[in-house]
Structure 1
Amino acid sequence: MDMDADWPLPQPVNLFKADRRSADSSLSETSSIANTFSSLATPVVAEAVRRARELATNCDAEGFHQLRVAFRKLRALYWAYSPYLGEEATAQATGEFKRLAAVAGGTRDWDIAGGLLKAAQESRASMGLLVAAAQEKRAQAVAHSQAMIQSDVIEAFLNDALLRARVTLESNCDDLLIRDFAENRVRRARRALKRRSRYAARLETAHEEDLHDVRKAGKKLRYLLEFFRPVIKSGHGRAIRKLTSVQNKLGQFNDIAASETLIRGAIFDGVPPEVVQESLQWLEKQKGRRMRAASRHVRAIVD
């Protein structure tokens, strides 16, 4: 999606400072849907802008990861409010959130792949060349991400997206209270997770794509539970903890699967093909183990 063609980016307008009180106020059952969106979105947007600024001079992988998390949270929030934001506006915003998250994630992906290759190197000395090559790929990913992530452009885009959403929600649902809406959206996200989990659990060992779908659905539900926790019925703390545990197992599998894909698609100058192949065989073996563990946790969701 070419966002620049359809959504011209304005200059930053310091929306975050103006909205600080709203962002810091606690949610309540008497809050309107429109006001609640601003309260939830503003601190996430501010976090994304802060991380983007820091990454201009800091190449720490955790900073890239947290920026990616912020964009994922915004995607979940826009999905929650999509009945009032509209399909087209939601698709435009979330499409750009997804693109920016992918740009931010390149460095983190090579960090994970490099860590796995170092683990393989403990029993395979020949992996040293590939570990060094992965570190070079990581450096290239940092340079690419820093070139693509311009904090002033991201701030302008997020300011505009938040303002557009606020205006739309105030015109559509400013007098509607949040609790029933929040519980409905959480319920829909939970049903989607159950549906994905049942589909993935139909076989003794799920397919990679099915596990990935479960992981995405689980993240959406967890983010919504965290967002709406103050205004929905109590008892979700245990659900958040369980989701976090399942996400950790699915994340371990995803790290292996994503690293395998990353290495298969990369060109490593100076690394013998047999070394690359050896690494892929090692990753394949590790992936099988972690896939079985992830499948067991997915079946636990269904049960």
Structure 2
Amino acid sequence: MQETELKLELSRSGARSLLKKNPFGSSPAILQQRSIYFDTPGWELSKRGLSLRIRQSGNERTQTVKAGDGAAAGSFTRDEWERPVAGDTPILDDPQIRDLLAGAGPKLAPLFEVHVKRHRWNVIDGDATIEVALDLGKVVAADREAPLCEIELETKAGSPTALFALARKVDLITPAHLGVLSKAERGYRLLGSAPGAEKSASTALTSKMNAATAFARIAAACLKQFRLNETALGWSRDAEALHQARVSLRRLRSLCSICKSLFDDSRFDQLREELKWLALELGDARNIDVMIGRASGSALSSRLEDARDDAYAAVEASLSSVRARSLMIDAAEWISIRDWRTDRSDAALHELSSRDFASGVFDKFWKKVAKGGNNLIDANDETRHEVRIAAKKLRYAAEFFEPLFNSKAKAKRHRRFIEAMKGLQDQLGSLNDIATAPDMLAALELSDVAGAKDLFSAEDKSKLLEDAAEAHGVFVNTRRFWR
């Protein structure tokens, strides 16, 4: 069978507030649960996108195998197979399960456990039935453990919009952040090195997918990358985590721009504006980090460090706001339910193969970068900025849709194309830093501090312009991998 669920992360005090106010219309059933997760020493199941657990609840044990998209953000849709078992040893006699695990069975061993106290409700909302489970407990792996406090909402019947409405109701009672990790993923992360900044990763796509499905998968991956970096920022003011959080928002905004022909939905523009707002909230802190890396004088560095503290405090306030939390829930709903596909006049475009759609995107933005960058040395800052944005969208698109062009020859050409794009983007990005530094320093009242003018010297700009023109020539002469 297939399940669809939404996860939200709560604080312990928030969970207590939720239990006290209990907005779910009945008293919860309370269960103590212990789940053992199995895999091979080389984590073969995890690499295939599978998880296998045996969960004990009271005197009953249930074995569950799940197969799903690791890129999911908040709203998970996964295939699932369950069966009762007598003990803590997996039973693999079902032909479908045996084929799914394909040779991993003999090497399976317990990897980690999840212990929770589960409070469970069934909520009726119009024609919708939603199972709500509040889990308080911990994940235990070897000599490590991590607290777990999350609420899962799963639609059993009716419209999934009721599920998101209930999520917003929970967030009114206590801050609820979109959850993007399954319990299995939490366990695997606990076994690895301490998580830090999360870079973008390739999303599983196939040429058989239509354009709308490819968009939804990539968008979910961007949302997941943002939430993982947002969580890392909650532990420390890590410059790379902030940078990657901002990158994930830029990627999602670029994806929406790249794919805007798919949408006929009034919420699209609103969501894009909210994503822009959140990215801007992170912008000052990121710009200060960049200037700190380039600052040469101790006086300027010290003043920038003070400004950095204030900027990161503002980032923390923005990320903890109702507006930011609501944006994550709204984005997860929009991506998951896909109401933007309901205009039948665009049915042919929605069903266009993801590969054909991607090729059209590449052609469009390649022409913009090739033509716009013809005279970078004599162009003004605004024109170069427009070329930089087009180049960024082209590179993101090339990364988004890479799995659709995976033949040996195309993969090789893709690597060369990305290298050429990176070279051009690096030069255009440095030029943009020089162009924006004066206004940033003025806003921070640091224009007259010793070393400030070194951040945007004419000599540096002249050299960067020459390098940018050369990088643009390399880009134009690099073979296009999609042709």
Q: Which interval holds the TM-score relative to the shorter structure?
A: 0.7 to 0.9
TM-score by length of 2: 0.51
Range that drifts further, 72-81 or 175-184: 175-184
Tell me whether 1:294 sits opposite 2:455 in the alignment.
no
| 2:416 match | 238
Higher relative contact order (CA 8 A, sep 6+): 1
Q: State the alpha-carbon separation in 2 of the partners of residues 88 and 190 from structure 1.
A: 29
Map Cα deviations across residues 33-67 of structure 1 (whole Å, 9 max, x no partner). Answer: 22212221112101111212222331111111101
Q: CA deviation at 1:178?
A: 1.7
Name 2:136's counterpart in structure 1.
Answer: none
Alpha-carbon shift at residue 140 of structure 1 (Å): 0.9
CA separation of 1:43 and 1:102: change in aligned 2, threshold 3 A: same
2:379 is matched with which residue: 203, 206, 211? Answer: 206
Instruction: Give the aligned residue type for 2:311.
Output: A
Rounded Cα–Cα distance in structure 2 between residues aligned with 1:110 and 1:190: 32
Unaligned runs of 5+ residues in structure 1 are: 1-7, 122-127
1:236-285 superposed Cα distances (whole Å, 9 cap, x missing partner): 322111101111122222233332331133224xx9x4x45x63266223
Give the C-alpha shift of residue 109 in structure 1: 0.9
Aligned with residue 255 of structure 2, among 53, 59, 77: 77
Equivalent of 2:215, from 2, 18, 37? 37
Counterpart among 339, 348, 355 of residue 168 in structure 1:
339
Separation (CA, whole Å) in 2 of partners of 1:111 and 1:263: 13
2:225 to 47, 59, 70: 47
Judge conservation of contact 2:264–2:340 (CA < 8 Å) in 1: no
Does 2:394 correspond to 1:216?
no
Summarize deviations over 1:81-108 as a string: whole Å, max 9, x none: 2112137544322222222112112222
What's the Cα RMSD here? 3.1
Residue 424 (structure 2) pairs with residue 250 (structure 1): no
Residue pair 1:206, 1:295 contacting (<8 A) in 2 also: no
How much has 1:225 moved relative to structure 2? Answer: 0.8
TM-score, structure 1 normalization? 0.79
Q: Which has the larger displacement, 46-55 or 156-165?
A: 156-165
Cα distance, 1:16 vs structure 2? 4.4
Is 2:223–2:248's contact at 8 Å kept on the other side of the alignment? yes
When you count helix as a share of all residues, which structure comes out higher? 1
Conserved? CA contact 2:258–2:393, under 8 Å: no
1:188 is matched with 364
2:339 and 2:302 map into 1 onto residues whose CA distance is: 51
Superposed CA offset, 1:176-203 (max 9, x none): 43221121122112122223213x44xx
Matches within 5 A, 1:109-128: 109-118=287-296, 121=297, 128=298
The letter of the residue matching 2:342 is: S
Matched, 1:260 2:438: yes
Residues 289, 190 of structure 1: CA spacing in aligned structure 2 closer, same or farther, 3 A cutoff?
same
User: CA 1:24–1:300 in structure 2 vs 1: closer, same or farther (change >3 Å)?
Assistant: closer
1:150 aligns with 2:356: no
Matched residue type, 2:467:
A
| 2:311 equivalent to 1:135 | no
Contact 2:208 2:354 in 1 (8 A): yes
What is the Cα deviation at residue 17 of structure 1?
A: 6.0
**Quick check: 1:32–1:175 contact (8 Å CA) kept in 2?**
yes
1:207 Cα deviation (Å)? 1.9
Q: Greater CA deviation, 253-262 or 165-174? A: 165-174
The 1:151–1:242 alpha-carbon spacing in structure 2 relative to 1, beyond 3 Å, is: farther
Distance 1:93 1:44 in 2: 14
Instruction: Provide the C-alpha distance between the structure 1 equivalents of 2:341 and 2:239, rounded to a whole number of angstroms.
Output: 38
- Comparing 204-213 with 214-223, greater Cα deviation is found at 204-213
Superposed displacement of residue 153, structure 1? 5.0
Partner letter of residue 168 of structure 1? D
Amino acid at match of 2:313: A
Question: What secondary structure, in the 3-state scheme, does the structure 2 residue paired with 1:230 have?
Answer: helix
Given that 1:183 and 1:232 are in contact with CA atoms closer than 8 Å, whether structure 2 keeps it comes out as: no
Which residue is 2:161 aligned to? none
Q: SS state of the match for residue 275, structure 2?
A: helix
**Alignment correspondent of 1:125:** none
Count residues with an aligned counterpart.
Answer: 278
Please list every run of 5 or more consecutive structure 2 residues that lacks an aligned counterpart in the other structure.
1-164, 185-200, 478-483
- Counterpart CA distance in 1 for 2:466 and 2:266 is 39
Looking at CA atoms only, which structure, 1 or 2, has the larger radius of gyration? 2
Q: 1:60 aligns with which of 213, 238, 246?
A: 238
Q: Does 1:229 align with 2:402?
A: yes
Judge conservation of contact 2:180–2:224 (CA < 8 Å) in 1.
Answer: yes
Amino acid at match of 1:220: K
